[in-house]
Structure 1
Amino acid sequence: MSNYGEGTEGGEDSSILVALYEARLKKMEVPVRFDRKELDQILRLYGRMVAANEWRDYAIDSLPDRAVFSVFRRTSETPLFRIVKDPRLARKQGAYSVVAATGLILKRGQDLARVLGVFDNKLRLVEA
């Protein structure tokens, strides 16, 4: 007969206790990334825009709190647009957003395909 809180004598049926803060710490160490389906949608759009001679280069950043796909007209410039995945905003405004070079959020939402639809409106860089 075992007392409350003790495991079985053989140890086979006992559970391993993990401190909650340790589990969260391990989870936080993994950077946020785009999954295969998301990258497929983004790279399909990128291919269309390259074919239209609008975009020429891209960069992917996996940060601890968000993933960013940046598109460039020229490699040496600042990004024209950034496609951001921020899981912290998933229940609020939506995990995905498209941000212009000025920092203006062009579209935000839960569905990446719908957010990427902002580029269907033929957004083009206007040089002054």
Structure 2
Amino acid sequence: MTLHSPPPVTPIERFPEQVAFHRTELAVILSIYGRMVAAGEWRDYGISSLREVAVFSIFRRTAEIPLYRIEKRPKLRGKQGMYAVIGTGGQVLKRGHELKPVLRVLERKLIRAVKD
């Protein structure tokens, strides 16, 4: 029996062992988060950095399930876009290649919260 080793992986092809949000991405996310906290809509958040996805979870109260999840999946970069906003029921509210346009779905909720 002959054993074949897999071809060597170049550093460019290798995915990180843990996906995380970059500082500039967090600045954009925390900007809208801060405005929603000031409007009294959100109260807590959590960040998870996993092997294939980084998740920013937004909570109305600490002990609840997240209202929204902002996900970053680098493997979807060439397909649907690596950023997504997911609602409470698991429905994808918006997906795209750039973070700011994807987060606009949450800004609409901010306009409605301030207007009321």
TM-score above 0.5, yes or no:
yes
TM range (shorter): 0.7 to 0.9
Asked whether 1:93 is paired with 2:53, we answer no
The whole-number CA distance in structure 2 between the counterparts of 1:20 and 1:51 is 51
Is 1:82 the counterpart of 2:60? The answer is: no
Confirm or deny that 1:20 pairs with 2:37. no
For 2:57, give the aligned amino acid. S
Distance in 2 separating the partners of 1:88 and 1:100: 21
Alignment of 1:120 with 2:107, yes or no, is yes
2:48/2:54 contact within 8 Å kept: yes
Give the SS at the match of 1:60: strand
How many residues are paired up? 105
Structure-to-structure mapping, 1:44-123, within 5 angstroms: 44-122=31-109
- Percent identity of equivalent pairs: 53
Shift in Å at residue 122 of structure 1?
1.6
Deviation, structure 1 residue 29: 5.7
8 Å contact kept, 1:28–1:64: no
What pairs with 1:29-44 in structure 2 (closer than 5 Å)? 30-44=17-31
TM-score (norm 1): 0.75
Match of 2:4 in 1: none
Q: Which structure has more RCO (C-alpha within 8 Å, separation ≥ 6)? A: 2
Separation in 2 of the partners of 1:92 and 1:29?
19
Give yes or no for contact 1:34–1:67 (8 Å, CA) kept in 2.
yes
Question: TM-score normalised to the size of structure 2?
Answer: 0.82
